[in-house]
Structure 1
Amino acid sequence: MTTPRRPSRRHVLGMAAAVPLALTADLALGAGPAGAATGPAFVMAYFTESPDGLGTDYGLHLAVSLDGLEWTPLNQNKPVATPTQGAGGLRDPFVLRKQDGTFAVLATDLKGTDWSYNSQYIHVWDSADLRSLTGYRRLKLHGMTTHSWAPEAFWDAARGQYAIVYSSVNASGHNVLMVNYTTDFRTVSAPQVFFDPGYDVIDGSFALGVGGTNYMYFKDSSKQTLVGARSATLAPGSWQRFSTPVAHGGTEAPILVKSSSSNTWYLWGDTYTPNGVFYAWQTTDLASGTWTPVDQRRYTQPVNSKHGSIAPLTGTQYDNLLAHWGAPAWNRLKSYNHPDRYVRHADFAGRIDPYPFDPYTDAQWKLVPGLADASGVSFQSVNYPGRYLRHYSYALRLDPNDGTSAFVQDATFHKVPGLADSTWTSFRSHNHPTRYIRHSGYALRIDPVSTATDRADATFRIGY
C-alpha cells in the first residue's frame, strides 16, 4: 500500500486554519512528573459512535494535535487496531507514555453498549511510537463477577510501579475506583479499592505532583458531573473530594491536560449519550477546584469520537505518525458564530447543523482546485463524489457537475482571511465577487457582506 504523503506540522495547521504556529500553547498531560511537558505535540486515543451507528467502530482510533485543542484524525479516522479477544471490541482507550518513553495502550474489554457483559480483563498493547502496536493481550485484573471499565494508569514513584485504576463494583454494591499495581502490564498485584466516596464513581483522570499535591477528576454517576479529589500520597483511600462539579448535561470521561507555556489547565469531558460531544473547561489554579468553559471556537474533537485520552508526543513522533497513518483526505467546516454547527448537505441543500448527526459524511468535503479557476477551491462531496457545492439563485446546493461554464463558475470560490477572524477562513464567490458564502437561518447562500453579523455568518474554520 502506498504511504500517504506526509503533511508537515505547518501544513496541517494551515489546512485546519488553526492558530498560527507561533501562538500555539504546548500542552502536557498532568500525569507526568509535576505535570512537566515532554513534547510539543499530542495524541488522542478514542473509539467512535454516531447517532444512527453509521460512524460507530469499537476499535482503537488515534488523532494528533500540535496545540491539544484542534485534532487531526489518523488513518482516515479508521481504527489502527482492533481487539481479537474477549468481546472483540473496546471502549475507553487510554494511552500511557511510560517512564522509558515508549507507550502502553489500555482499554475496556467491551464492544457496544451491552452493560451486562462483565469482563475481568482489559485490553493491552505495547508500542515504541504508536506506528505499530505489538504484544496484544488481555490482562486479568480481578476475579469478581463484575466489570473492569475505563482503565487509566500512572507511575507511582514511591512504589516504583505503575498503578492501573479502573471502575468496578465492589462489595459496596456501587461502582468504585479499583487499583492494581504492575511493572510490565503483564502481571498485576491483587486488586484493592482506590477511591470509594460512598456513591457510584467511574473514570479517573490524574495530574500528579502539582504544587506537592496529586489531583484526580472522576465522574460522579449519581449526578452525572465531573468532580475533583486530591491526595498528598497517591495511596488507596487517601483521596478527598474538594472541587466544584462541572458538567454540560450528563458528562463523563474527564481528561486533565496542562499548558506548558502558561499556568492554564484544561479539563475535557464527554457528554453521556450514545454519540457524545466533548466540552472543555479551563483554570489557572488547579488547587481552587473551579473551572470556566472554554469557547468552542478553540477546540474541535475528532469526528464521532467518544471517551478519549490524551498523551504527549515529541515533534518527531508527531511527524512520524502523520507520515505513517496519513491525514484525512477530507475536511469539515465549522461555523464561527455557531461553533457547534458544521457545513453539510441535507436533501442536497447546503446548511449548517449541530454536531453530531448521521450521515456524518454529509459534512465531509474534499477541497479541490476550483473547477473554473485552479487558484480557487471547489467543495466536492465525500459521499456523493460526483456532486459539488454550488450556488443557484444565490442559495447553495449539492449538484452533479454537468461540465457547463455556468456550473463550474457557480461551484468555484476563493479563500480569504476570515471576515470576522483572520485566523479563520471566508469564501468569496468566483462569479459574484461581492458575495461570500454565509449562513442565514442555518441555510447556506452567497450574499454581500456589510455588518458584523454578516461577517460572522461568513466565517468558517477548515478542520477535521
Structure 2
Amino acid sequence: MKELAVILIGALLCGACSPKAYLFTSFHEPANEGLRMLYSQDGYHWTDLNRTLLKPAIGQQKVMRDPSMVQGPDGTFHLVWTSSWKGDKGFGYASSTDLMHWSEQRFLPVMEHEATTVNVWAPELFYDAATRQFIIIWASTVPYRFEKGIEDELNNHRMYYTTTTDFRTFSPAKLFLDPGFSVIDAVITKRKTDDYVLVLKDNTRPNRNIKVAFGTRATGPYTGVSDAFTKKFTEGPSVVNTGKEWLIYFDSYQDKKYGAVSTTDFKTFTDASARVSVPEGHKHGTILRVKKRILTRLLKGEN
C-alpha cells in the first residue's frame, strides 16, 4: 500500500501532469462512519482515499449522508451534509483549510420556522462569485403545501435555499424550486456569466430520474425543465467540467452502481458509463477541482 502511495504521489508531482486534481466527496452506507473522498487526475477515473476524514457528531441520527463541499475564495473548504433521514430541521456543517483538520461541527436549523417539516435532505453548496456569497440548497417536505403525484404526502419534496457570506449569519430560508412535482438532489452548475444549469432528480412515482432546468442567476428562477436523460431509479447527480465536456455522474441505485452521461450543451446527453470508473460503495457527493498539493498532502497523510 505504501509503494502504491509513493507511485501516486510521484505522478501527482510530475511536471507533465495537470496542476489541478479532482476530489469527489463520498460516504458509505449506513452513513455512520463519516466523510470519505475519491480522487482523480482526469475526472473520469476515480480512486478511493480509503479512510474517513470526519466522523458525524450532530443531528438526531448522527449520520453523514450526501456530503457537499466547496472551496471559498480564501481557500477554506466548507462542508454540509444530511444529518438524519427524518426529524432534523437542518443539516450539519464544518470547515477545514486542509481537509484533515476540521472545525467543530455545527447544526444549521434552516427549516425550524416550518413546524411540520418532515426532513432536510442533501444540502448542496455553491459559491456565487457574481454576488460573493455562498448558496445552500436542499430538499424538504412540508406536508399539504404543494401539489403532488402518487407519492405519499410525507414524500412530496421541494427545494429551498439560504445564503451566507461567513457561515455565521444566514438569510431566511426561501423556496428555491417548485417545478410542479416532487424534486430532490439538485445541483447548481455555472456555464458562463448569467448562464446557470440546475441538475435535479424528479422524485415522483414512477419517474425517479435526472433532468435539468435553466436560469440566468444562481438563485433562479429555473425554468424549462427537460425530459429525463437517465433511466428510472437514478439519483444523486454530481457535475464536473473536464475541459472537453461536462460529465454528470449519478447513482443508479437499483443496479447498485454509478453511471454517467456526457454533454456539451445540456440538451443532448450521451451515456458515458463505459468511459468512467467509480469505486464500489461510493455514494452521493460533490466533485470539485483543487490544487494538486491538497491531494498530495491527503495521500501522504500529512498533518
Question: How does the TM-score come out when normalised to structure 2?
Answer: 0.85
Give the letter for the 2:237 counterpart: P
Partner of 1:189: 171
- Code of the residue aligned with 1:304 in structure 2: it is G
**Residues 59 and 83, structure 1, Cα contact 8 Å, conserved in 2:** yes
Look up the SS of the partner of 1:208 in the other structure. strand
Match of 1:103 among 65, 77, 85: 77
Counterpart check, 1:234 vs 2:218:
yes
> What is the number of residues matched between the two proteins?
285
Q: Structure 2 matches for 1:211-250, cutoff 5 A? A: 212-222=194-204, 223-236=207-220, 238-250=221-233
2:241 is matched with: 258
- What is the match of residue 6 of structure 2? 7
Aligned to 1:319: 296
Identity %: 29
- Give distance in 1, aligned partners of 2:3 and 2:93: 28
Residue in structure 2 matched with residue 149 of structure 1 by the alignment: 121
1:185 partner SS: coil
Contact 1:248 1:279 in 2 (8 A): no
Q: Which amino acid letter does the alignment assign opposite residue 34 of structure 2?
A: G
1-side partners of 2:230 and 2:196: how far apart? Answer: 22
Measure, in 2, the Cα distance between the counterparts of 1:321 and 1:269.
25
Amino acid of the structure 1 residue aligned with 2:241: K
After TM superposition, list the pairs within 5 Å mapping 1:14-413 onto structure 2: 40-49=20-29, 57-74=32-49, 77-86=50-59, 87-110=61-84, 115=85, 117-143=86-112, 144=114, 145-170=117-142, 171-172=145-146, 174-210=156-192, 212-222=194-204, 223-236=207-220, 238-260=221-243, 262=244, 264-273=245-254, 276-286=256-266, 289-296=267-274, 298-324=275-301
- RMSD value, Cα: 2.7
CA distance in 1, matches of 2:236, 2:78: 19
Q: How far apart, CA to CA, are the structure 2 residues paired with 1:5 and 1:71?
A: 15
Q: CA deviation at 1:209?
A: 4.1
Q: Which has the higher strand share?
A: 1
Segments of 5+ residues of structure 2 without an aligned counterpart are 147-152
Larger radius of gyration: 1
- Deviation (angstroms), 1:109: 0.7
Structure 1: distance between partners of 2:131 and 2:39: 32
Structure-2 separation of matches of 1:229 and 1:104: 26
Which SS does the other structure have where 1:240 is aligned? coil
**Contact 1:4-1:323 within 8 A present in 2 as well:** no
Alpha-carbon distance change, 57 to 109 in structure 1, aligned in 2, over 3 angstroms: closer
The whole-number CA distance in structure 2 between the counterparts of 1:73 and 1:235 is: 33
TM-aligned CA distance change 1:224 to 1:100, over 3 Å: same
Residues 214-273 of structure 1 deviation map (CA, whole Å, 9 limit, x = unaligned) = 11100001111110011012334x11034331224410011111022x2x1111111234
- In structure 2, what is the Cα distance between the partners aligned to 1:9 and 1:219? 35
Provide the C-alpha distance between the structure 2 equivalents of 1:281 and 1:177, rounded to a whole number of angstroms. Answer: 24
Secondary structure (helix, strand or coil) at the match of 1:7 reads helix
User: Cα distance, 1:8 vs. partner?
Assistant: 4.3
Alpha-carbon distance in structure 1 between the residues aligned to 2:179 and 2:229: 18
- Which letter does structure 2 place at the counterpart of 1:150? A
Aligned partner letter, 1:40: K
Give distance in 2, aligned partners of 1:41 and 1:187: 32
Distance of 2:58 and 2:263 partners within structure 1? 41
